[in-house]
């Protein structure tokens, strides 16, 4: 089963013309925190909180998947290494519900293991107008045995292809790399934002590929990004070669 990156799906629309009115738009009040979980090797569970900030009762389904990366893409597979309890929730307006993410397998050897908790709001199926239905995808990282230290070791290259310019990042470390705020700095120090905000993750022992904006120059300059929330930038690519 393949699921898209941590996202919100908005399934709503409205059409207004001079002689008619659109039905009222109902915005969901579902919020999930924290936005990521880290389980230590000796921890059996962590808490995820679902909050209803809206005016109507919310129903949601919570599932967990093993997260790997192959052929430059995210892959999600059913797994019993982690389970969630409860998997179905009903939250009244103003209330919140704790969902426990429980580890059932032994900690991984050597490198951290990666999972995604998917929270899907369930539509009400009531004729009260259009509504937003949200999906949250929460990354979960499980530390290796003994809580061994983990770090990302990255190499990267950018290239041109028939589909346009692309960035490939390989991670030979034993910990994940969260890549954000990708910019190009030319030979004169001028900065061009390419992919603001979260670009994606490179998991241990994996390589990921992301498309760059059309027209991005490949020759000369460097690509920089913020790794794992650090305030300072790291250079991913210098020119057209590897890091």
- pLDDT at residue number 127: 56
Q: Confirm whether 11 is domain-assigned.
A: no
Q: Are residues 230 and 163 in the same domain?
A: yes
pLDDT grade for 17, boundaries at 50, 70 and 90: very low
**Per residue in 166-225, pLDDT tens?**
999 999 999 999 999 999 999 899 999 999 999 999 999 999 999 999 988 877 889 999
- pLDDT at residue number 219: 78
Task: Supply the pTM of this predicted model.
Answer: 0.82
- pLDDT at residue number 76: 97
Nearest partner of 201 among 150, 152, 158, judged by Cα: 152
Q: Which residues contact 125 (CB under 8 A, 6 or more apart)?
A: none
Here the CATH number for the domain that contains residue 36 is: 2.60.40.10
Q: Are residues 29 and 87 in the same domain?
A: yes
Question: How many structural domains does the chain have?
Answer: 2
Q: Confirm whether 1 is domain-assigned.
A: no
Q: Are residues 160 and 114 in the same domain?
A: no
Here the CATH number for the domain that contains residue 173 is: 2.60.40
Q: Which residues contact 25 (CB under 8 A, 6 or more apart)?
A: 12, 14, 129, 130, 131, 132
Q: Are residues 179 and 139 in the same domain?
A: no
Q: Confirm whether 10 is domain-assigned.
A: no
Q: Are residues 196 and 96 in the same domain?
A: no
Q: Are residues 74 and 58 in the same domain?
A: yes
pLDDT-above-70 percentage for the chain: 83
Secondary structure (H, E, C), 146-203: HHCCCCCCEEEEEECCCCCCEEEEEECCCCCEEEEEEEEECCCCCEEEEEEEEEEEEC
Cβ 240 vs Cβ 157: under 8 Å: yes
Flag whether pLDDT at 5 surpasses 80. no
Secondary structure (H, E, C), 20-43: ECCCCEECCCEEEECCCEEECCCC
Which of 87, 119, 147 finishes a domain?
Answer: 147
- pLDDT at residue number 163: 85
Q: Confirm whether 46 is domain-assigned.
A: yes
Peptide bond into 67 cis (omega under 30): no
Q: Confirm whether 165 is domain-assigned.
A: yes
**Per residue in 44-66, pLDDT tens?**
999 999 999 999 999 999 999 99
Q: Confirm whether 18 is domain-assigned.
A: no
Q: Are residues 210 and 128 in the same domain?
A: no
Nearest partner of 9 among 163, 172, 83, 119, judged by Cα: 119
Q: Are residues 61 and 141 in the same domain?
A: yes
Q: Are residues 174 and 80 in the same domain?
A: no
Nearest partner of 145 among 107, 111, 104, 173, judged by Cα: 107
- pLDDT at residue number 162: 84
Which of 132, 147, 162 finishes a domain?
Answer: 147
Q: Are residues 59 and 140 in the same domain?
A: yes
- pLDDT at residue number 18: 26
Range of the domain at 195: 154-238
Spatial separation of the C-alpha atoms in residues 197 and 193, rounded to whole Å: 10
CA distances from 231 to 37, 120, 134, 174, 234 (A): 21, 32, 30, 22, 10
Which of 147, 171, 193 finishes a domain?
Answer: 147
| Mean of the per-residue pLDDT values of the chain | 85
Q: Are residues 138 and 72 in the same domain?
A: yes
Q: Confirm whether 92 is domain-assigned.
A: yes
Flag whether pLDDT at 129 surpasses 70. no
Flag whether pLDDT at 67 surpasses 90. yes
- pLDDT at residue number 237: 82
**Per residue in 79-117, pLDDT tens?**
999 999 999 999 999 999 999 999 999 999 999 999 999
Q: Are residues 164 and 225 in the same domain?
A: yes
Q: Confirm whether 12 is domain-assigned.
A: no
Flag whether pLDDT at 238 surpasses 80. no
Q: Mean pLDDT throughout 15-35?
A: 57
Task: Select the more confidently predicted residue: 1 or 36.
Answer: 36
- pLDDT at residue number 132: 60
- pLDDT at residue number 213: 93
Phi first, then psi: give them for residue 145, nearest 5 degrees. Answer: -55, 140
């Amino acid at each position: 089963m393949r699921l898209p990156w941590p996202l919100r799906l908005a399934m709503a629309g409205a059409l207004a013309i001079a002689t008619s009115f659109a039905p009222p738009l109902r915005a969901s009040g579902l919020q999930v925190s924290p936005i990521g979980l880290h389980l230590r090797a000796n921890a059996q569970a962590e808490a995820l909180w679902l909050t209803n900030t809206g005016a109507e009762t919310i129903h949601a389904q919570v599932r967990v998947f093993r997260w790997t990366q192959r052929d430059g893409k995210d892959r999600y597979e059913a797994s019993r290494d982690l389970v969630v309890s409860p998997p179905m929730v009903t939250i009244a307006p103003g209330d919140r519900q704790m969902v426990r993410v429980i580890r059932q397998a032994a900690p991984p050897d050597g490198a951290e293991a990666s999972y995604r908790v998917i929270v899907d709001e369930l539509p009400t199926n009531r004729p009260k107008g259009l509504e937003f239905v949200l999906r949250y995808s929460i990354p979960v990282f499980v530390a290796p045995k003994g809580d061994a230290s983990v770090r990302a070791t990255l190499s990267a290259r950018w290239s041109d292809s028939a589909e346009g310019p692309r960035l490939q990042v390989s991670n030979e470390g034993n910990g994940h790399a969260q890549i954000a705020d990708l910019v190009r700095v030319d030979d004169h120090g001028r900065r061009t934002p390419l992919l603001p905000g979260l670009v994606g993750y490179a998991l241990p022992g994996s390589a990921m590929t992301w498309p760059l904006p059309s027209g991005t120059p490949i020759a000369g300059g460097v690509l920089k990004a913020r790794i794992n929330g650090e305030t300072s930038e790291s250079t991913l690519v210098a020119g057209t070669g590897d890091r």
